[in-house]
Amino acid sequence: MGMKFAMEGTALADHAKRTDASSSDLGAMVLAFVQAAEPVAKSMNGPVKASFNSFKQNANMVADMLNTSLQGILNSTNEQGRAFQQHTEQATEAFSSGQAGANFDAAVARSV
């Protein structure tokens, strides 16, 4: 038996809304992590301190990359949602026009 796939019409739009909210949160979390770790960094020495400083210097870039990546996912999800909706409308229209042109009386078996 073939695989069945059913998706509610609003699933992609709902997913896009959640992704949109998360995209700014993730970048902000990276920056908040750096700020929260600052007191601990004062007690670091040597290579550990250098690694933390390197991470700290790149934190804005990391946050921007995460935000950009999630924005790309959001754009893709929105495009998929539009394509899904368009396909649904086209399929409904094709079914309706096919049904309107059907001769159901001719399809009825007639007894002789």
Taking each helix axis from N to C terminus, what angle separates 11-41 and 46-100, rounded to the nearest 10 degrees? 180
pLDDT averaged over consecutive 10-residue blocks of the chain (112 residues)?
62 76 78 91 92 92 88 87 86 83 68 54
Q: In this predicted structure, what is the pLDDT of residue 23?
A: 66
CB 43 within 8 A of CB 78: no
Query: Is the CB of residue 84 less than 8 Å from the CB of residue 6?
Result: no
For residue 5, the 8-state DSSP code is -
Helix (H, G, I), strand (E, B) or coil at 111: coil
Count of beta carbons in the 10 Å neighbourhood of residue 31: 13
Retrieve residue 62's tokens.
């990391």
Domain ranges, ordered by start, for the chain = 11-76
